[in-house]
Amino acid sequence: MQAIAQASGTLRVATRGKGFTDITGEVARWLGAVEAGEGLLTCFIRHTSASLLIQENADPDVLRDLADALAGFAPEQAAYRHDSEGPDDMPAHIRTVLTGVSLSIPVLGGAMRLGIWQALYVAEHRSAPHTREVALHFIGSPR
């Protein structure tokens, strides 16, 4: 029986305002650095106005259409009670509820078991650039 290993870390992600930042490569490098073998990777974004998602990485129109759909679900022009942080804040909270703050990704052979067209993204729902923190945790067998 092989020993179980755990590793945790934090990825700091600079966003440019509303949109999607691909962090697949950075997370893959972290898995390599912690010598992950087979197990489960948990990613958790430590914010309430940004989220994590796995989405297509081939056609940029997918991300544009997704941004348009999220804007339609939570428009900035609505009359929200919570508006002390600006007109983009409450819609950002709603978009985060719709997309989620954590992901569980299988790891096999030291690599995320993503589909060929999948990438891991930080979704920034605020207009201004931010630095977001993504907590990473791997549990499983070492390489």
Name the 3-class secondary structure at 131: strand
CA pair distance 93, 114, nearest whole angstrom: 27
C-alpha pair distances (Å), 4 with each of 29, 45, 123, 142: 20, 25, 32, 7
Would you place residue 12 in the very low, low, confident or very high pLDDT band (cuts 50, 70, 90)? very high
Is the pLDDT at 94 greater than 70? The verdict is: yes
Average pLDDT over residues 78-97: 95
Q: What is the pTM of this model?
A: 0.95
pLDDT at 29: 98
What are residue 11's phi and psi, to 5 degrees? -105, 125
pLDDT digits (tens, 9 = 90+) for 45-68: 999 999 999 999 999 999 999 999
Would you place residue 112 in the very low, low, confident or very high pLDDT band (cuts 50, 70, 90)? very high
